Structure 1
Amino acid sequence: MDNEQLQLMVEEISSDYFSKPFIHKAYFNDRLRTTGGRYMLQTHNIEINKKYYVQFGRDELEGIIKHELCHYHLHIEKKGYRHKDHDFKSLMKKVGAPRYCSTLPGTEKRIKRGGQLIYACKKCHQIYKRTRKVNTKKYVCGHCKGALVLISRSEFRE
């Protein structure tokens, strides 16, 4: 399937399920990685991840198009087009659009490595647990304004 066929498919789904025309552009975007598609608010275009069509076929592609068309038509009509909005949820239910697309193999949620970093105040010995590094030259203890120092896990005992 190429961009012209995708454009025709989006226009057809829009008229069949929404009874409204799709007058903007729909095309494949090879740079999309984990999302099935996206609706562009500024241009009103729809970008589709071709990997989903190759991996799962026409039915999955149709579901992604319906989802993005829900965003499109509601935004054009100045209604709630975001995932949390009632208008969006009810339109999705009405046309049978999926909330999420299937997960591509190899894109499962990545496990974060490194765990927690533990900082201690030199003055009052207050302990701070963080997942991101703290600039110890810039930030100080919130209790006594003392200097923070990174301590390793093996040195920390609760």
Structure 2
Amino acid sequence: MDQQELQTMVEEISSSCFNKSFTHKAVFNNRLRSTGGRYMLSSHNIEINPKHVEEHGENELKGIIKHELCHYHLHLEGRGYRHRDREFRQLLAEVGAPRFCTPIKKTQKQKTIHLYACTACFTRFERKRRMDTKKYVCGKCGGSIKQVI
């Protein structure tokens, strides 16, 4: 799906579900990480995360578009467009839009854990960051520390 197909889909959903026209831009934004889409308050444009389309399909995309159009139309009408507002929740229920999108699988690499141990009392220390074993000693006994893993 390209930008033009997304634009026409947003315009069709806006006219069929909300009976209002969508006169701004709808674009894909590859930089979005944790959200399915976002409504820009200043420009009134809608940005969609293309990873959701690839992973969850077109039905998920339609739900995200409906959700963002709820923000769009309520904001332009001067009504409560935030997630906590009653009007927003009512409009979500009316059009059948999800409140939250399905999360995408994490593609981040697993964080490495560095394991250290005291040479005297054998107490183990797990750290996310590496540490200089020459600078530090065991907090329990004062023994020297060595890296295990």
**TM-score class, shorter:** 0.7 to 0.9
Runs of 4+ in 1 over 2 A off after TM superposition: none
Partner of 2:22: 22
TM-score, normalised relative to structure 1? 0.68
Partner of 2:100: 100
Residues in 2 aligned to 1:16 and 1:107: alpha-carbon distance in whole angstroms: 36
Which whole-Å deviations, capped at 9, do the CAs of 1:42-77 have from their partners, x for residues lacking one?
Answer: 000000000000100000000000000000000000
User: Secondary structure of 1:98's partner?
Assistant: coil
Residues in 2 aligned to 1:22 and 1:107: alpha-carbon distance in whole angstroms: 33
Partner of 2:68: 68
CA RMSD, 1 decimal: 2.1
TM-aligned CA deviation for residue 32 of structure 1? 0.5
**Pair 1:38 & 2:75 matched:** no
After TM superposition, list the pairs within 5 Å mapping 1:1-158 onto structure 2. 1-106=1-106, 154=139
TM-aligned CA deviation for residue 107 of structure 1? 6.2
CA contact (8 A) 1:34 1:107 kept: no
CA contact (8 A) 1:63 1:98 kept: yes
User: Secondary structure of 2:27's partner?
Assistant: strand
Equivalent residue letter for 1:58: E
Equivalent residue letter for 2:32: L
Unaligned 5+ residue runs, structure 2? 114-138, 141-149
**Percent of paired sites with the same residue:** 59
Residues in 2 aligned to 1:42 and 1:90: alpha-carbon distance in whole angstroms: 24
* Residues 1:91 and 1:107: Cα distance change in structure 2 (over 3 Å): farther
State the number of aligned residues: 115
* Residues 1:107 and 1:72: Cα distance change in structure 2 (over 3 Å): farther
Residues in 2 aligned to 1:15 and 1:90: alpha-carbon distance in whole angstroms: 18
Equivalent residue letter for 2:14: S
User: Secondary structure of 1:61's partner?
Assistant: helix
Partner of 1:127: none
Residues in 1 aligned to 2:89 and 2:13: alpha-carbon distance in whole angstroms: 18
